[in-house]
Structure 1
Amino acid sequence: MAHPTLEDVAARAGVSRALVSLVMRGSPKVRPERREAVLRAAAELGYRPNMMARGLAAGRTGIVGALLADLHDPVYAAVHDGLADEAAGDVRLLVATGRGRPARELAALDHLLDLRPDGVVLAGPRIAAAEIERAAAGCAVTVIGRALRSPRVDCVTGDDRAAVDGAIAHLSSLGHHRIACLDVGARPSPLRRACPPGTVVTDPDALWSEPVPPTAVLALGDATGTTTLTALLRAGKRVPEDVSLVVHGSPPTARAAQVTTSAVPPADLGRLAMATLLARIKDGAPARARRRTVPPRLDERATTAPPG
């Protein structure tokens, strides 16, 4: 079914196409009764302005794309919320995902670029830096969670090392001196480098086989946090009476479960990335790419306490 046009609205309202165009642009030069007639005709026909065509004529589309690495990951869902909050009222946000696969991610990026967006945010991209650079040749680009050496790609990252340092400092302030950093991911977490020497453990059940077991555990990642809680229950340990627990990450149930967390808020990453992108769209090409860092936040809840 063909979309109603300006000509269709003009015919229904009994006015010229030029007058309809003035009404749709919000011109004050149209008498109120004629404006009402045009808007009534547009509503009856279901007419909607072609924002893309209007944007292209003005040199901008008013569209921003967001390519999220994995929509099944709650972290990226929160990143999207931050992007949408910051974009509200300024641009229209189109969301795509590569489902964690570089080939699909590249195809999704090409689909977004085909729409001629004013800019694109890439959250956790796995495609080659050269492909990101190619995208930046045609529109503004901001990358979340990855630092690129590019003069025209802005990058927003989180200070995860500071999040680990903050968690360790918090546990130490409570009086814990035997702290284990647990990492059970399929790949070693880069956060291991931020942990104190000799504290990294990869087998949760091994935590309790040591002669002097830890009194506190920092779980490196949301999935590791769930594994840690399961291991604690299996070992008959109480939290926080026997063992304090901090999760590095932002599990969606952390607040309800009263789990202490230390992490960069993903929604903050989204908000800062969108603000950075909109600034580049407005300012054009700045002298140098922007490198921005989001600090972590420690949310102290019921899973941490002084050692018993």
Structure 2
Amino acid sequence: MARQAESIQTRPLPYGSPCSGGGESGRQRRVPCHRRTVPPVGGRVQTGCMCGRFANDAKIDELIQEFVAEGNDYRDWRPQYSIAPTELVPIVRERQQKQTGEITRSIDAAVWNFHPSFMKDSKRPQFNTRIETVATNGLWKGAFASSRCLVPMRGYYEWTGEPGHKQAFFLHGERPLLAAAGIYTTRKVGDEWEVSTSIITREARDASGEVHDRMPVFLERDVWNEYLAPVKLYDDGRAEMVALLTSESERVASTISHYEVDRRVNNSRAVDPADPTLIEPID
């Protein structure tokens, strides 16, 4: 008998402005991202933490087909071109049924703000996890050991320039969908179960490094099974998985390209997230 899927509680308030902060560690950042500048690459200014916005224009049936998964109860997903932290996103995960041992892969809804049950409420969402500490930091390592997922996306946004004059870029791959490595956790909120997630990031390479010094850890199809497998990783296993993510994500990094998009995407609260023109290049 299949295990009943958790019901999801929606978080309505987005946390979205260019480089608005948020976590790549278990601690809150005290310095705004635009002040954490590093030497520019390719003549462009970069920030010290990854900005939080991406697009996923795939319909649920397309996600099911691409990831060979079940749809579960997330049939109301609609393509979104501006997804900010604390919003619901589709994730791909595998779970093993206790009674039968059967492993199922499903598309589920998760809040893009990693919040394990032991963590106190924070004003800054935890939406990025550094690959350098995902296997050792107490906030992340438990989920990395046993609750790994993929976060599908068409591409993601980054910004360059000074506050008030930031230019938005859209970064994308060669195919319509990218699969970012993530982790997830589940906690009880009121009478419902909430699944939340964070995207693992790494040092940016190739074209991504021209815009920002961090990028998501993207994985090719041939390593999805190994990463999603619902087996618990211990110390050596976690270290080996980090090494796998590091090497395999470099293959995808070499295929990423970028172009400038309209600055109206800078304010996630002011744009229509269902507007496909947000990811169109500007002349």
Normalised to the residue count of structure 2, the TM-score between the two structures is 0.23
Q: In terms of Rg, which structure is larger?
A: 1
Pick the structure with more helix per residue. 1
Q: Which structure is richer in relative contact order (CA contacts within 8 A, separation 6 or more)?
A: 2
Normalised to the residue count of structure 1, the TM-score between the two structures is 0.22
Pick the structure with more strand per residue. 2
